[in-house]
Amino acid sequence: MAPSHAFRCCKRALNWIPVLFINLVVGWSYYAYVVELCVYTIPDNAERIGYLVIFHIFLFMFIWSYWKTILSKPASPSKAFALPRTEKELYEREERAEVQQEVLKKVARNLPAYTRTAGGAIRYCDPCQVIKPDRCHHCSTCEMCVLKMDHHCPWVNNCVGFSNYKYFVLFLAYASLYCLVICATVVQYFIKFWTKQLPDTHAKFHILFLFFVAALFCISILSLFCYHLWLVGKNRTTIEAFRAPVFINSPDKNGFSLGFRRNVAEVFGDQVKYWFFPVFSSLGDGHSFVTRLVHIDPEQANSVLQQNGKSLVDEEGNTRVLGNNVQHSVDESKEKTDGGQIVSVTMDSDP
């Protein structure tokens, strides 16, 4: 037990090395840009002040979104997806896989979970002992199931998923802009030092190296940012891009795609004013998702999620479809039947 605990502690400490590296690079870039470039190299005060203002704006947004990605705890499945005590004991006692599947099917019948394994079985996590919600996967590094898991990123030492995917995309965006600002403002002095139009000073090394490092990071981060923008437009995670989700009938890589506008809204929210800030505005609760392939009963999903204190009706009385609040997929007309409320879900056939 003691060696295992010590190994885990060492592993967790080593996982912070990439984060430390990034912060050291950013710290050095701050010194090189502010001190060596703006203070010692740029002669014009107006140019110096303008560069410093723009630089600090993008630096602040970059650091804000980066640390929000790091510090946001990955969202895990609610207790509603755990096996009840009776079924759990039966599942653990049973050795036959087909009987275990029958137990899982019985419990999953009351859950809004419509994806399956490649073999068509109920997706169940043995370490976490929960039926996996749609788009949920187990992270071996974080040792937990993560809702709408995209991937585990060593550069933020955290799982990127439902709780912080928007922050991660913004981190890539502002990191790219941060590097572009450095490259665009340093390039003229880089050329002057390279062609010896400026005298050799202690600032020369910093400015030359700053341009090369910023250009290298800009190319790599910008390519990754474009890839994730494509994923957002398709409403896919990185895992789903490599392995199409398997629904009850068949696999479908576009099973969760609701059209470009609604796909973007799932990640960034339906209010544009929050899109560019690392504040949580993603739609839904990460447990269930609207899909074009399965008819989802909102009443059933509501009863399940209420077990964990969640509801499909928010405080303002707006209807949320499966916790996904994609208001354009909800028919606003409501009918009263036996004192209850019927919500009809309509899906567009966008590619």
Active-site positions read 153
Other Cβ atoms less than 10 A from the Cβ of 11: the count is: 10
* DSSP SS3 for 229: helix
How many residues in total does the chain contain?
Answer: 351
Q: Are 234 and 257 in contact (CB under 8 A)?
A: yes
279-288 in b/e burial notation, b at 16+ Cβ within 10 A? Answer: eebbbbbbbb
* Closest C-alpha to 172, from 61, 16, 31: 61
Are 238 and 253 contacting, i.e. CB atoms less than 8 angstroms apart?
A: no
Helical (H) or strand (E) element with 341:
strand 340-342
Residue 103, phi-psi category: left (phi > 0), alpha (psi -120 to 50), beta (remainder): alpha
Tokens 């303008």 found at? 50
- CA 248 – CA 239 distance, rounded (Å): 19
Residue 202 CA to residue 226 CA, distance in Å, equals 37
SS3 293: coil
Q: Are 56 and 26 in contact (CB under 8 A)?
A: no
